[in-house]
Structure 1
Amino acid sequence: MKIAKASLVKPGENLLYGVFALTVSYFVFAYSGRFGQVSILLYYAVWLPLVLVDYRRALGNYVKYVWIFAFAIFALLSVFWSAAPGTTARAGVQYLTHVICALIAMRALDVKTLTLGSVTGAGVVLAYSMLFGVYHFDPLDGTVSFVGAFDSKNQLGFYASLAVFFCFSAVILLKQRRVWLPVCGVVGLLAAYCLYASQSATSVLTTAAVLGLTVGMQVFSLLPPKSRKLLFIAATIFGTITVIAAVYGGAIDSVLGAFGKDSTLTGRTYLWQQGIEAARASPVIGIGYQAYWVRGFSEAERLWEEFFIGSRGGFHFHNTYIETMVELGAVGLLLLTGLFLSGLFGHLKRVLTQQHGFESLVLFGISALLFVRSFAEIDVIFPYQIGSFLLYITAGKLTLPAPQSASTPTPMFSGDAMQPLAHPLAAGSVYPYR
């Protein structure tokens, strides 16, 4: 039986394959530590063969992606000055190939498929954790929380956050009904329970913040683009003043207290201080990608002992920018921050200028979630992680024309069709086969 190429690689016509591939990817990202290297090969198997099916559509023109690859390439090049060159070489190759798979997925999937595949993928991950999960005692704050089939409640919380966001996006933004409405209902309830049981303050707060931001941006769609921009500027100024007033008024301590946390964020402020001290050893180019948390290195061993990390692995500085500064210095930090901000503000620009950019609003929400979490977690600088996978998909979508109204679901509010918008970093629109 001959399978049409479009059913595998053409956005909008490969829903079944896209949902399957994303579900596999989510499960591998979540539990590759449990199932080993075979699961990683399965992840490669659902994306890399698309190059053989239609290499032009799957790859495109990689010259257009230089700004996207810059951080991954620099991470690999750090093997030449790394304190642990073997570790850096292996991790650098893994991260670069992971980025390639993410960009293949970006070109093969439209936003609808990405959203629905993420609903099923996150749902399967959470269901597995409910079936085989455990509770862990945290010696730092003395609490017992549900960690699922993960080693950390924050990872369970992250997948629950993604599940809530994508269920919201599928039902409210993309207006999916029929079979997807009950599916999103079940997955959303499962995610809400996991957020509650994990007691992950980071995940709960970031989920609430991003959902609120997304709803606010959706309300802006009631206005024409010009008025939308003015309202956004006014809301940003008011929001900034409100946040500053809340910080000085003690609201932060009240919020943390509601989650049983103190002002040290369960030792994270001390950990950040240690990371800043470590970054001073090589502030420009760092000590090498993933070359700090290496067994036998004195500082890593000391922090593992202080934070009761018996496994001596899977630990980090709980801040993306500090971790990057330690490993790749100011150069790596600049490249990663540029990638973050390009995705965040690039999709924000499309949301504010399109008549009904619900696809762009989904991508903006993903970018905002990853950005907000980056100050307290490490989601985007490791290979085989859902955070880095989504980061490169959202960044890569900026190299494609803005979604046309023909591919957009019926909007909640009436208005003109969307107009394509070129990527803000490029001179013109980039089309699939260029």
Structure 2
Amino acid sequence: MNTGHKDIAGTGPVLAKFNMDEILNCMHCGFCLPACPTYAQTGLETYSPRGRIALMKGVASGQLPVDAEFEHNMNACLGCRACETACPAGVPYGGLLETAREVVQDHHHADGKPSAVRSLVFRHLFPYPKRVKRLGTLLWSAQALGLQKLASRTGLIRVLPGPMAEMQQAVSRVASPWKRSKRQTVMPAETPNTMTVGLFTGCLMDILFYETNEATARLLTKAGCDVVFIKDQGCCGAMHAHSGEMAGAKELAKANIEAFERSGVDYLVNNAGGCGAALKEYGHWFRGDPAWEERANRFALANRDASEILVELPPLSFTKPFPARVTYQDSCHLAHGQGIRTQPRELLRSIPGLDLIEMRQADSCCGSAGTYNLTQYEMSMQILDGKMVHAEATQARIIVTSNPGCLLQMKQGIIRAGLEDRMEAVHIMDLLNRAL
């Protein structure tokens, strides 16, 4: 049937990509406006959720073209999903944004303008765990040889694009290949066993924050879990999905679903808010797919954030006080995407001696948003600098967060604010492990 809508890349009408019922659920009431960081920064309607949905509606109906302006407005969005929390109609904005970016990429493929960098990252790096590990080994080698410090001292670091040159300051020491090779396949429970869980190690998470994964596993064993490092797991696909590379995201999801099914574990536990939100949305990704929808839904239901499952298990036993003034920065995809807010705070309050001070607008985005702090650097830094004003006001010694991207961003914020001598950023799993 000819719908009269514009075709893109031979994939059928743009209308078929979008869920028009979801688009039309937007009442344009404006409740999302105060929650949107980019609208707060600019005051532009096209930088607001309802404005972007209006543009999606125009593209889906064929009234607006998929042009550079549409692409810019979609990419300027953080994808933090704070608007979903604020929306009285329950509009699933995150899914609509992913569709819009997929439509943009379809348009580029149709025009024969695929990006070499995108192709390298999304097609030749992240789908291959061994290549990601080799990248980690290269980074470790550069750090071990002092090349990172040398480049900073001599100014050679300026050969990198500005955002990457600044971001590298926040990257901690990468675990050595030898240390990574010594990881046990199974870490047995230290207390009477309650369940067997798989730890989702992620891709970059297991390179840049290997110790955080190890700390998470140790905490789970202390709470009575046998922890399995599942073979053949890989990237969750979140970066692909958020960047409009949905076909690639689904291939990564299939590999993770199959690996989980073979493992026989009760739950799959992750410690990265962004990854966890993606893992829990596999059912949505495969909606209507007869071969994968049911399997994806079972997989999604078996996923838990580490803080989510730890509060359900026997409490951790702390042997001595941990006196520290701490504030918590919500991960957007943990708070808005998964609705997990109280569990991390409950775990922090369980640490004897810890003083938890709530930060103003703790659940507003820090500006990291996956690769946003690289691709939309100026906006990201404006949002980060505002976040650091609220963080400094708490007079906390430690900023705790629950997502690797947020952790890097908050580390960078501390450096930008000149607070290195009196503040540090720590993943919640590392802080719990430190307190034990």
Same fold by TM-score greater than 0.5: no
TM superposition score normalised by structure 2: 0.26
Greater helix share, 1 or 2?
A: 1
Greater strand share, 1 or 2?
A: 2
TM superposition score normalised by structure 1: 0.26
